[in-house]
Amino acid sequence: MYTNRKSCIIKVLIILCLLYFGIHVLTNGGPVIRELQQSGRSLAALDTQNVESIVQEGSALQLSTVNTTKVVQTEINSKPSSSTTSSTAKPEPTVSEKIKEITRCIDRPLVPKTQQRGDYWVLYNYIPAEKTFKCEETVTYTTHADYSFMDNLVPLLERWGAPISIALHAPGTDFEDTLESIAHLRECTSPLVRELVTFHIYFSTKHVPKEVPKHNALFQEPYNCSLTPPYLNVSSEQMYKAQKKLLYPVNVGRNVARETAQTHFILPSDIELYPSPNISSKFLDLVATNKGPLLSKNPKVFPLHIFEVSANSPVPESKTMLKEMLHNRTALPFHKKLCSGCHNIPKAKEWQTAPESEGLHVFHVGKRNGRFVHWEPIFIGTHSDPLYDERLSWEGKSDKMTQGYALCVMNYDFLILDNAFLVHKPGIKVYKKDPKRAMLAAKTNQLIKKIIFPELKVLYGTRKGCAV
């Protein structure tokens, strides 16, 4: 992304900085360099960062550097910049530079490692994406699945067009099918899979596969793309997970995928929820404006409206198309027929009638209280948001409720986005009786009420109007 010219300028800058700091050390002793090091940024990191903000940060650390900083800045500005033709005007910072300055985010490495996590083994970054990202550069969609859901990956990717971090539950013999599914997706479908998707795999310590190749010894044989990929037409009986009657540890997967995301902003979601096109770049444009509700002191997340469409309908490409489909009833708000309270969003009616506009804006700032006390929103957030409770399973339901409680007590603002939304893979869910799941859900409710909720009250405290 950086031209040779720019990196040359940066080198000159580094030398200037070194010179300046050298003189400073000789005259004033070495506190600035020490403090710069303590602030976690090295001079070598200059080429990846907004130079001006670093210099300013250095100056903020110690008053005596202020005046020289100005000199250095003037020099920066007087050099021709690679991004503008003007040689005197200060170049407008790019969106990425603004995001970096606003978030002060730290880059995260994409390194494979094998680690235990509670009752699970996790192969973190087992198959990393070819492209890596700086923390300010984009937004990562983080999700979880087993191999039977991997048919969603390509449609998801084509709409998202930005990095995806996915944790796959692959106990026992499901592991082989999972690897084969990944090979098929990487070799025989969209090139975006290799480029943008990082796969993590996890399984219970009681269900370790017979063989687990080292991450650098994977996929050495060429893959035959005429074979049917294992993820098509999987009947649940043929899966190891079903044969052994294992529960799906959804929150282990959610947390693994989230923690490994390289970017500051993340969209933790479910793999069957396809985002409207180009959310990531429009979202960063919004954050870069840094005004209005974005400036509130409260922590914040950015919920997305969720819809479902009937089985043979296309997934809407824009809010305008979505509105037409809502009008002719080929689209509905998500789970309207299953659990309308769970995904009800503040000002939903107004949102659905508001016309589409250019870019992304905050439509409304909501709270998880009052009528929305049990809201399980899906939102763009950051690594600072509370994780999910790993004792909860998908089958037991309520798997996001404890996080919701924590957000409420911490007084999060929910900045609902206007032109962005999620659409479930086509097919409208209707209520089916499942006595086994109902029993598990009842048990989960007891676990939350008797054990988890009292813990949350100790750890996060209480606030009027908040509930799990």
Ligand X SMILES: *[C@@H]1O[C@H](CO)[C@@H](O)[C@H](O)[C@H]1NC(C)=O
Residues at the site binding ligand X, with contacts judged by CB under 6 A: 66-67, 224, 226-228, 232-233, 277-278, 321, 324-325, 328, 330
DSSP 238-278: GSHHHHTT----HHHHHHHHHHT--SSEEEE--TTEEEPTT
CB 343 within 8 A of CB 458: no
Q: Where are the beta strands (DSSP E) in 316-432?
A: 331-333, 362-366, 379-382, 413-417, 421-424
What sign results for the dihedral spanned by CA atoms 35, 41, 46, 50? negative
Question: Considering beta carbons, is residue 226 or 384 the nearer one to ligand X?
Answer: 226
CB 231 within 8 A of CB 150: yes
Question: Considering beta carbons, is residue 266 or 309 the nearer one to ligand X?
Answer: 309
User: What's the closest the beta carbon of residue 105 comes to ligand X, in angstroms?
Assistant: 22
User: What's the closest the beta carbon of residue 426 comes to ligand X, in angstroms?
Assistant: 12
User: What's the closest the beta carbon of residue 162 comes to ligand X, in angstroms?
Assistant: 10
Helical H runs in 123-266? 153-160, 174-188, 192-196, 240-243, 250-259
Question: Considering beta carbons, is residue 67 or 85 the nearer one to ligand X?
Answer: 67
Tokens found for residue 401: 């409720």
Question: Considering beta carbons, is residue 16 or 188 the nearer one to ligand X?
Answer: 188
Tokens found for residue 203: 């399984």
The SS3 of residue 305 is: strand
User: What's the closest the beta carbon of residue 313 comes to ligand X, in angstroms?
Assistant: 7
User: What's the closest the beta carbon of residue 165 comes to ligand X, in angstroms?
Assistant: 21
User: What's the closest the beta carbon of residue 28 comes to ligand X, in angstroms?
Assistant: 12
Q: Quote the CA–CA distance of 230 and 150 in Å, as a whole number.
A: 9
Kindly provide the b/e burial profile for residues 307-341, where b requires at least 16 CB atoms within 10 angstroms of the residue's own CB.
bbbeeebebbeebeebbebbeeebbbbbbeeeeee
Tokens found for residue 259: 């923690």
Smallest Cα–Cα separation from 164: which of 23, 229, 261? 261
Question: Considering beta carbons, is residue 75 or 455 the nearer one to ligand X?
Answer: 75
Question: Considering beta carbons, is residue 122 or 417 the nearer one to ligand X?
Answer: 417
Give the single-character DSSP code of 427: S
Tokens found for residue 137: 């550069």
Q: Quote the CA–CA distance of 50 and 36 in Å, as a whole number.
A: 15
Question: Considering beta carbons, is residue 172 or 230 the nearer one to ligand X?
Answer: 230
CB 186 within 8 A of CB 153: no
User: What's the closest the beta carbon of residue 67 comes to ligand X, in angstroms?
Assistant: 4
User: What's the closest the beta carbon of residue 324 comes to ligand X, in angstroms?
Assistant: 4
Question: Considering beta carbons, is residue 279 or 407 the nearer one to ligand X?
Answer: 279
User: What's the closest the beta carbon of residue 233 comes to ligand X, in angstroms?
Assistant: 4
Smallest Cα–Cα separation from 248: which of 202, 213, 209? 202
Helical pair 4-28 and 51-61, crossing angle rounded to 10 deg? 10
User: What's the closest the beta carbon of residue 126 comes to ligand X, in angstroms?
Assistant: 25
Question: Considering beta carbons, is residue 344 or 352 the nearer one to ligand X?
Answer: 352
Question: Considering beta carbons, is residue 88 or 328 the nearer one to ligand X?
Answer: 328
The SS3 of residue 424 is: strand
